Amino acid sequence: MLGLVRRFLPGVLALVAWVPTPVRSAAIALPPPPAPGTFRVLSWNVSQENLFKFSDRYRAIFRITVPDILLLDEIQGGRSPAEIARILHGIDGSTNTTWNVVIGSAGGYQRAGVVSRHPVEPVPELDGLRYPAADFDRLKTLVPESAWNSRVQRNLDLGIPTAGGILRIGERRVLAVAIDLQCCNGTNDWPEIRRQMETRIIHQAIQQTLERRQVDAVLVAGDLNLVGGSQPLDILRRPLPDPHGSLVPAAAVQLDGQETWTWDGRGSAFPSGRLDYSLYSPASLQESRAFVVSSEDLPAAVLSAHDLKPETSRELSDHLPIIVDYQWRPSPTRAQ
Contacts of 176 (CB under 8 A, 6+ apart): 41, 69, 71, 114, 116, 120, 164, 165, 166, 167, 219
Q: Considering only CA atoms, which of 318, 313, 323 is closest in space to residue 252?
A: 323
Following CA atoms 58, 59, 60, 63 in sequence, which dihedral angle do they give, to the nearest 10 degrees?
Answer: 130
Report the C-alpha gap between 284 and 185 in whole angstroms. 36
Report the C-alpha gap between 67 and 41 in whole angstroms. 6
Q: State phi, psi for 92 to the nearest 5 degrees.
A: -95, 20
pLDDT of residue 30: 73
Burial (CB count within 10 angstroms: exposed 0-12, middle 13-18, buried 19+), residue 14: exposed
Report the C-alpha gap between 1 and 22 in whole angstroms. 19
Task: Classify residue 333: in a domain, yes or no.
Answer: no
Burial (CB count within 10 angstroms: exposed 0-12, middle 13-18, buried 19+), residue 242: exposed
The CATH number linked to 166 is 3.60.10.10
Task: Classify residue 225: in a domain, yes or no.
Answer: yes
Write down the pTM of the prediction.
Answer: 0.91
Task: Classify residue 334: in a domain, yes or no.
Answer: no
pLDDT of residue 9: 41
Task: Classify residue 23: in a domain, yes or no.
Answer: yes
Report the C-alpha gap between 184 and 182 in whole angstroms. 7
What DSSP state is assigned to residue 30?
P
Question: Cα separations (Å) of 158 from 107, 128, 178, 304?
Answer: 5, 9, 17, 41
pLDDT of residue 64: 94
Report the C-alpha gap between 278 and 260 in whole angstroms. 13
pLDDT of residue 95: 67
Q: Tell me the sheet residues that pair with 325.
A: 40, 289
CB 162 within 8 Å of CB 201: no
**Number of domain units in the chain:** 1
Domain that holds residue 146: 2-328
For residue 53, count other CB atoms closer than 10 A to its CB.
Answer: 13
What is the layout of strands, in order, in the sheet containing 162-169? 120-122, 162-169, 172-180, 217-223, 276-280, 248-249
Task: Classify residue 336: in a domain, yes or no.
Answer: no
The 3-state DSSP class for residue 227 equals coil
**Residue pLDDT tens, the chain, 336 long:** 544 443 334 333 334 344 444 555 555 667 778 888 899 999 999 999 999 999 999 999 999 999 999 999 999 999 999 999 999 988 887 666 799 999 999 999 999 999 999 999 999 999 999 999 999 999 999 999 999 988 999 999 999 999 999 999 999 999 999 999 999 886 779 999 999 999 999 999 999 999 999 999 999 999 999 998 999 999 999 999 999 999 999 999 999 888 999 999 998 888 899 999 999 999 999 999 999 999 999 999 999 999 999 999 999 999 999 999 999 999 645 555
CB 279 within 8 Å of CB 220: yes
> Which element (helix H / strand E) includes 100?
strand 100-103
